[in-house]
Amino acid sequence: MNAQKYISLILFLLLLVPASGQQATPSPQRPAAATPAPAQVAQARKPALGQRSPTPRPGGVAAQVTGPLLGQSMTLLPDGGTLTLGGAAASGPVTRALLNGRVAVPLGHARAYHSATVLSDGRVLVFGGLDDKGLVTSAELYKVGRFQPFQSNLAPRAHHSATLLTDGRVLIAGGISADGKPLDRLELWDPWTKTSQILPPHLSQARRSHKATLQSDGSVRIEYGVLADGLAASKVEVYSPDTGALTILDSPEESSSELKLAASIPGNGAQGVKLDSLIALRFSRALGVKTLTSATIAMRDQRGPVAIQVEGAEVGMLAFVAPSDGSPSTARPIPPDCHYRSPSSAFRRKRLRRTLAILTPTPVGNQMIHRFRRCKRDRV
């Protein structure tokens, strides 16, 4: 039997915990009970008598539209920046795009009450919303100052939620249909095939303008929102990607403040995983997205650093690691015949709010077995 060449890879995770010690997610807010219907949002408002119409900027954005707009999206990017898209101005839905508060390349399609979700590769999926005619049927992908429109088989909707899952797919939940009524439909969108599938379970309460949050166990918690009668949704529902089930919580779940690696893809103990496979890390609570970079998560082998790209998502609940060709001169691409192992699920808080985990995979026959050890900061 020919000996197969293996290279042991070391995965370092040096994660900065938010200084306040609290989860780096926005404070939950109950949505307003009344939200404009599609026809109301789409209808343009005329300027008052004696006032001049706004002077348009490139991309159809009015010059004075610089502040917050109803129906705009604000997305935290992997580098810590903020991408603000669309919204409803006095003239109706706009194509405005702001990167860190500065005017950027506009959207390909004006929209408001849409979703904008960071994907595992750092791109942003912009989906749904309302324009001056009703529901927007097209979607767009944003990457490095460029919007790429594409047709999607996702059911058009607005006032919905779009949550990135650990496996890289996106869960689309609730929202409103063309008639303005809340939806109970769930869909899963695949970023690699750009196709979606309707899930069998339905929300027990059709809702819009709700909140959907990725949990440490990989499930998605759906809460708040507005019902068809205008009342606030009372039930908390949880979708599990592992079982495909949708359950109703009878009582609020207790969240742990302990920082740990809740799960990973590949899972702990997986075998024969190729290097071009998705590497996903999910934490017990959100970390600072800006700290999830190749400077704090690194791969090494016996010869030194290995080139990788790290993308943080879901407000720091997820981190995705992928081999990268565009790397510093000190880093090298991972050889194509190598295999890696997933990290241990144990983290321990360190002084100065830093945690360092080292994964040392060791090849044994046809299996890849890893061991986990903790090191002091001065060993990095």
Intra-chain end-to-end CA distance of the chain, in Å = 38
Q: Of the candidates 248, 282, 310, which is a domain's last residue?
A: 248
* Between 323 and 137, the higher pLDDT residue: 137
Q: Say how far residue 172 (Cα) sits from the centre of its chain.
A: 12
Residues 300 and 180 in one domain: no
| pLDDT band, very low/low/confident/very high, at 3 (cuts 50, 70, 90) | very low
Residues 213 and 360 in one domain: no
Q: How many structural domains is the chain composed of?
A: 2
Measured at the CA of 116, the angle between CA 79 and CA 221, to 5 degrees, comes to 100
> What are the CA-CA distances from residue 74 to residues 43, 84, 97, 113, 237 (Å)?
23, 4, 10, 11, 24
Is 100 inside a domain boundary?
A: yes
Residues 173 and 282 in one domain: no
Residues 223 and 140 in one domain: yes
Residues 140 and 214 in one domain: yes
Question: What mean pLDDT value characterizes the chain?
Answer: 74
* Between 119 and 272, the higher pLDDT residue: 119
Residues 73 and 204 in one domain: yes
Is 199 inside a domain boundary?
A: yes
Would you say residue 233 has pLDDT above 60?
yes
Least confident of 11-15, 22-26, 99-103, 231-235: 22-26
Per-residue model confidence (pLDDT) at position 266: 79
Q: What residues pair up with 103 in beta bridges, in sequence order?
A: 98
Asked if 330 contacts 303 with a C-beta cutoff of 8 angstroms, the reply is no
Is pTM beyond 0.85? Reply is no
Per-residue model confidence (pLDDT) at position 146: 94
Is 57 inside a domain boundary?
A: no
Per-residue model confidence (pLDDT) at position 190: 96
Per-residue model confidence (pLDDT) at position 168: 97
Per-residue model confidence (pLDDT) at position 377: 32
Per-residue model confidence (pLDDT) at position 52: 38
Residues 162 and 309 in one domain: no
Would you say residue 252 has pLDDT above 80?
no
What CATH number corresponds to the domain at position 150? 2.120.10.80
Is 43 inside a domain boundary?
A: no
Q: What is the pLDDT of residues 103-157, one digit of tens each?
A: 999 999 999 999 999 999 999 999 999 999 999 999 999 998 899 999 889 999 9
Pairing of strands 56-57, 304-306: unpaired
Q: Is 338 helix (H, G, I), strand (E, B) or coil?
A: coil
Residues 261 and 368 in one domain: yes
Domain that holds residue 373: 10-20+257-379
Residues 284 and 180 in one domain: no
Is 54 inside a domain boundary?
A: no
The DSSP symbol for 39 reads H
Is 41 inside a domain boundary?
A: no
Q: Of the candidates 200, 218, 248, which is a domain's last residue?
A: 248
Would you say residue 55 has pLDDT above 70?
no
Q: Of the candidates 230, 248, 266, which is a domain's last residue?
A: 248
- CA nearest to 292, candidates 13, 10, 9, 11: 13
- CA nearest to 187, candidates 172, 202, 175: 172
Asked if 341 contacts 313 with a C-beta cutoff of 8 angstroms, the reply is no
Asked if 175 contacts 169 with a C-beta cutoff of 8 angstroms, the reply is no
Residues 227 and 343 in one domain: no
Q: HEC profile for 190-206?
A: ECCCCEEEECCCCCCCC
Residues 125 and 263 in one domain: no
Q: Is 290 helix (H, G, I), strand (E, B) or coil?
A: helix
Which pair of tokens denotes residue 208? 């819009």
Asked if 33 contacts 232 with a C-beta cutoff of 8 angstroms, the reply is yes
Per-residue model confidence (pLDDT) at position 297: 74
Residues 6+ apart with CB under 8 A from 276: 323
Burial per residue of 156-191, b for 16 or more beta-carbon CB atoms within 10 angstroms, e otherwise: bbbbbbbbbbbebbbbbbbbbbeebebbbbbbbbeb
Residues 222 and 280 in one domain: no
Distance CA 17, CA 15 (A): 6
Is 323 inside a domain boundary?
A: yes
Is 52 inside a domain boundary?
A: no
Asked if 178 contacts 156 with a C-beta cutoff of 8 angstroms, the reply is yes
Measured at the CA of 285, the angle between CA 280 and CA 286, to 5 degrees, comes to 75
Residue 53 backbone phi and psi in degrees, to 5: -70, 150
Per-residue model confidence (pLDDT) at position 152: 86
Per-residue model confidence (pLDDT) at position 144: 85
Q: What is the pLDDT of residues 140-199, one digit of tens each?
A: 999 988 999 998 899 999 999 999 999 999 999 999 999 999 999 999 999 999 999 999
Q: Token pair 């109703």 is at which residue?
A: 248
